[in-house]
Structure 1
Amino acid sequence: MARRMAHRTAVAAAAGTAMALSLTGCLGGSGDDPANGSGGTVQLPADTVLVKTSQRTGQADTFEADLTITDGGTTVRGSGDVRLRPTLAFTATLDEVRMNGQTLPAAGSQAILLNDVLYAKVPQFAQMLTGGKPWLRLNVDQAGRQAGVDLDQITSAVQRINPAEQTRMLTGSKDVRRVGQEEVEGVRTTRYTGTVTLRDALARLDPQTREKVRRWHADGSERLAFDIWVDGENLPRKLVVRGTADGRETSTVTVLYRDFGEKVTVNPPPADQVGDVGDLVGWHLGGG
Structure 2
Amino acid sequence: MERRTALRTTVVVAAGSAIAATLTACGSDGGSGNAGTINLPADTALVKASQRTGQADSFEADLTIADTGDGGTTIRGSGDVRLRPNLAFTATLDQLKVGGQTLPGVGSRAILVGDTLYAKVPRLAEFATGGKPWLRLNVDRTGRRLGFGFDEITDAVQRVNPAEQTKMFTGSKDARRVGEEKIEGVRTGHYTGTVTLQDALNRLDPQTREKVRRWHTDGSDRLAFDIWIDSENLPRKLVVKGTSKGHETSTVTVLYRDYGKKIRVNPPPADQVGDVTDTVGRFLGGGN
| Distance in 2 of aligned mates of 1:108 and 1:282 | 23
The verdict on how the C-alpha distance between 1:112 and 1:187 changes in structure 2, with shifts beyond 3 A counting, is same
From 37, 41, 45, the equivalent of 1:45 is: 41
Equivalence for 1:96: 95
The structural deviation recorded for 1:60 is 1.6
The verdict on how the C-alpha distance between 1:9 and 1:185 changes in structure 2, with shifts beyond 3 A counting, is closer
Assess if the C-alpha contact under 8 Å between 2:13 and 2:91 holds in 1: no
Assess if the C-alpha contact under 8 Å between 1:34 and 1:49 holds in 2: no
| Distance in 2 of aligned mates of 1:286 and 1:235 | 43
The structural deviation recorded for 1:70 is 0.5
Equivalence for 2:16: 23
From 59, 64, 75, the equivalent of 2:55 is: 59
Assess if the C-alpha contact under 8 Å between 1:78 and 1:95 holds in 2: yes
| Distance in 1 of aligned mates of 2:114 and 2:74 | 29
Q: How many residues get paired? A: 275
The structural deviation recorded for 1:48 is 1.1
Equivalence for 1:74: 73
Query: What is the aligned-residue identity percentage?
Result: 69
Assess if the C-alpha contact under 8 Å between 1:63 and 1:261 holds in 2: yes
The structural deviation recorded for 1:283 is 5.4
Assess if the C-alpha contact under 8 Å between 2:37 and 2:232 holds in 1: no
| Distance in 2 of aligned mates of 1:87 and 1:134 | 26
Unpaired runs of at least 5, structure 2: 18-23
Equivalence for 2:20: none
| Distance in 2 of aligned mates of 1:173 and 1:33 | 25
Tell me the SS of whatever aligns to 1:191.
Answer: strand
Assess if the C-alpha contact under 8 Å between 2:230 and 2:236 holds in 1: yes
Please tell me whether residue 201 in structure 1 is matched to residue 200 in structure 2.
yes
| Distance in 1 of aligned mates of 2:240 and 2:262 | 27
| Distance in 2 of aligned mates of 1:128 and 1:234 | 48
TM-score for the superposition, normalised by structure 1: 0.90
Tell me the SS of whatever aligns to 1:120.
Answer: strand
Tell me the SS of whatever aligns to 2:278.
Answer: helix
The verdict on how the C-alpha distance between 1:237 and 1:132 changes in structure 2, with shifts beyond 3 A counting, is same
Pairwise mapping of residues 202-281 of structure 1 onto structure 2 (< 5 A)? 202-281=201-280
Assess if the C-alpha contact under 8 Å between 2:117 and 2:138 holds in 1: yes
Q: Name the aligned partner's letter for residue 168 of structure 1.
A: K
Deviates more, 1:170-179 or 1:211-220: 211-220
Q: Name the aligned partner's letter for residue 30 of structure 1.
A: S
Deviates more, 1:63-72 or 1:14-23: 14-23
Assess if the C-alpha contact under 8 Å between 1:15 and 1:120 holds in 2: no
Assess if the C-alpha contact under 8 Å between 2:172 and 2:193 holds in 1: yes
Equivalence for 1:10: 3
The structural deviation recorded for 1:45 is 2.4
Q: CA offsets, 1:222-261, max 9 Å, x none?
A: 0000000010101000000000000000000000011111
Pairwise mapping of residues 135-174 of structure 1 onto structure 2 (< 5 A)? 135-174=134-173
Unpaired runs of at least 5, structure 1: 1-7, 37-42
Q: Provide the aligned C-alpha RMSD in A.
A: 1.9
Larger Rg: 1
Equivalence for 1:39: none
